């Protein structure tokens, strides 16, 4: 995308309604304390959820709107009360309709059952219609565009009966930068977020400093990044949002270092190390690294897409893991909306929430005794102790659901050799409500992952990939002749097993 700067919880229905009213009252108090409360139609009484999808529609009268934004929404047909809510922020030069049309979020809103709010900024705020992620007058608690977005959340909760404990925010580019700022300023509003080709929270506080964030690194420690988040809501003691980070390795508008800086920032906020709990290969040249909290649940996930430039990752098609359409800054690689929705738990009954009372029924305890049996280079066999009352179980690999067995065993297949995976299991009652996940189990597949190295014959020998005899160089293991032993002959060697290399000059 062009530069991000201008250029010149089960219970009775009645109990659920009362809980929702209480949450709305807390949100109303938040705005009153900030001096931002305006007449918001329907805040005092819940409206019935929409009964039919009507496409993208504009919503007016959502509050004092100090950030001068427009509110658009998509509501699936038959959306029940207490459903989740997703807020999706477009990138520079885009509109709410662009994000609605191309991002893929509406597919999963229909499939999993949640409403989507699409805030829109315009040229009156920024010449490129970027969200102003670098200005404290717009991106801090109770101020400007950030406050307008949260007023939209309150309006949506009122109109659609959305669950205030299951509100999530995602955004691309400048919208991604604003997403990180919203998560920092309003951890009491958002249960999770996804920053797509975006910037760390409060990376810049002036327009001039914004370019340094986009094109380089501030070279801060993880603790310094975390302090930028903690400073946005001093004294906050509640849970922090779960954060997904999507970044292309060939993004030259928002350099890929922003992805790792976001990782450092949010792992520090969660109080967990920057060492991955697991690493997984996904479609589209995507590498997923997960960072689990003390319970073994992924709190931060970093998705790095090899060779992708600046944009939102989509994967057009009708498959269950596909979504979106290609357009300017919507890039054909992998369906980021699908994996983000799964990470947030939107595919689960009561998923992503922290209030079991809103889940539709009593939840079962976490299964115990999770263990790995036979492990091959492509599969892991799992077993666990039965949970009384369970109708089925949900098996999660690196936080993504991969199976729904009715018994207490499951074999996960199609895995990558020599890779470590993290597994948890949750019990599902007869009411369809999933309980908490078990303690995490790590399992590493067998086998060997082939790697390639291109270097001079001299360097191959020095690295232990080859040896010399009679002035010639030979690949270790295969003993293929590589030519004279010097620094002027270069070859590519592929390691296909421990201690075994073959010539791969034609391709690796």
Active site residues: 173
Three-class SS of residue 109?
A: helix
Q: Whole-angstrom Cα distance, residue 300 to residue 314?
A: 21
| Contact (Cβ atoms closer than 8 angstroms) between residue 353 and residue 363 | no
Residue of 89, 188, 79 whose CA lies nearest to 129? 89
Question: Which residues lie across from 472 on neighbouring strands?
Answer: 469, 484
List phi, psi (to 5°) of 466: -150, 170
Is the Cβ–Cβ distance between 278 and 380 less than 8 Å? Answer: no
Altogether, the residues listed in the chain come to a count of 508
Backbone angles phi, psi at 251, to 5 degrees: -85, 115
CB 303 within 8 Å of CB 287? yes
DSSP letter assigned to residue 358: G
Q: What is the DSSP letter of 327?
A: B
Q: Which residues contact 405 (CB under 8 A, 6 or more apart)?
A: 392, 393, 395
- With beta carbons less than 8 A apart as the criterion, state whether 16 and 24 touch: no
3-class state of residue 85 by DSSP: strand
Number of Cβ within a 10 Å radius of residue 423: 27
SS (H, E, C) 173-216: CHHHHHHHHHHHHCCCCCCEEEEECCCCCCCCCCHHHHHHHHHC
Q: Please state, as a whole number, how many other Cβ atoms lie within 10 Å of the Cβ of residue 281.
A: 12
Of 469, 466, 449, give the one whose Cα is nearest residue 501: 466
Residues 237, 245: Cα–Cα separation, whole Å: 24
| CB count in 10 Å sphere of residue 193 | 27
Question: Cβ(91)–Cβ(309) under 8 Å?
Answer: no
Structural tokens at position 170: 């995602």
Instruction: Report the C-alpha gap between 416 and 447 in whole angstroms.
Output: 9
291 with 243: CB under 8 angstroms?
Answer: no
**Torsion, Cα of 474, 475, 477, 479 (10° steps):** -40
CA 201/CA 224 separation, integer angstroms: 11
Cα dihedral value 424, 430, 435, 439, nearest 10: -30
Task: Name the β-bridge partners of 400.
Answer: 397
Residue pointed to by tokens 């938040």: 30
């Amino acid at each position: 995308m062009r530069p991000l700067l201008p250029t010149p919880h089960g219970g009775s229905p009645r109990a659920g309604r009362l809980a929702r009213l209480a949450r709305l009252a807390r949100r109303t108090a938040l705005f009153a304390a900030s001096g931002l409360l305006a007449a918001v139609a329907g805040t005092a009484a819940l409206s019935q959820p929409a009964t039919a999808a009507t496409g993208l529609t504009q919503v007016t009268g959502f509050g004092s709107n100090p950030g001068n934004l427009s509110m658009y929404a998509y509501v699936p047909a038959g959306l029940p009360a207490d459903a989740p809510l997703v807020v999706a922020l477009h990138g520079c030069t885009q509109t709410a309709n662009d994000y609605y049309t191309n991002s893929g979020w509406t597919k999963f809103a229909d499939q999993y059952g949640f409403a989507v709010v699409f805030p829109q900024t315009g040229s009156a705020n920024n010449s490129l219609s970027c969200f102003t992620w670098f200005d404290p007058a717009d991106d801090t608690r109770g101020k400007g565009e950030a406050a307008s977005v949260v007023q939209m959340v309150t309006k949506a909760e009122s109109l659609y009966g959305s669950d205030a404990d299951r509100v999530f925010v995602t955004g691309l580019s400048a919208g991604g930068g604003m997403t990180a700022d919203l998560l920092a300023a309003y951890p009491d509003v958002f249960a999770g977020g996804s920053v797509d080709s975006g910037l760390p929270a409060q990376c810049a506080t002036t327009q001039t400093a914004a370019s340094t964030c986009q094109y380089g690194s501030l070279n801060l420690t993880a603790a310094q990044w975390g302090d930028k988040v903690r400073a946005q809501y001093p004294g906050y003691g509640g849970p922090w949002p779960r954060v997904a980070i999507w970044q292309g390795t060939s993004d030259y508008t928002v350099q890929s270092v922003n992805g790792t800086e976001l990782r450092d920032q949010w792992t520090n906020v969660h109080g967990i190390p920057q060492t991955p709990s697991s690493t997984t290969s996904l479609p589209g040249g995507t590498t997923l690294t997960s960072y689990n909290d003390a319970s073994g649940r992924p709190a931060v996930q970093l998705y790095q897409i090899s060779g992708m430039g600046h944009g939102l990752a989509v994967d057009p098609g009708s498959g269950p893991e596909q979504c979106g359409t290609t357009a300017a800054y919507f890039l054909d690689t992998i369906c980021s909306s699908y994996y983000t929705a799964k990470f947030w738990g939107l595919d689960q009954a009561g998923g992503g929430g922290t209030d079991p009372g809103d889940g539709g029924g009593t939840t079962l305890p976490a299964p115990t005794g999770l263990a790995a049996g036979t492990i091959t280079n492509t599969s892991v066999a799992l077993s666990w102790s039965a949970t009384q009352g369970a109708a089925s179980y949900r098996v999660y690999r690196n936080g993504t659901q991969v199976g729904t067995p009715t018994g207490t065993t499951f074999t996960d297949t199609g895995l990558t050799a020599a890779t470590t995976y993290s597994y948890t299991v949750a019990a599902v009652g007869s009411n369809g409500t999933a309980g908490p996940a078990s303690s995490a189990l790590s399992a590493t597949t067998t086998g060997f992952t082939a790697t390639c190295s291109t270097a001079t014959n001299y360097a191959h020998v020095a690295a232990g990939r080859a040896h010399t005899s009679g002035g010639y160089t030979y690949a270790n293991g295969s003993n293929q002749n590589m030519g004279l032993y010097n620094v002027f002959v270069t070859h590519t060697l592929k390691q296909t097993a421990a201690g075994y290399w073959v010539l791969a000059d034609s391709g690796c």
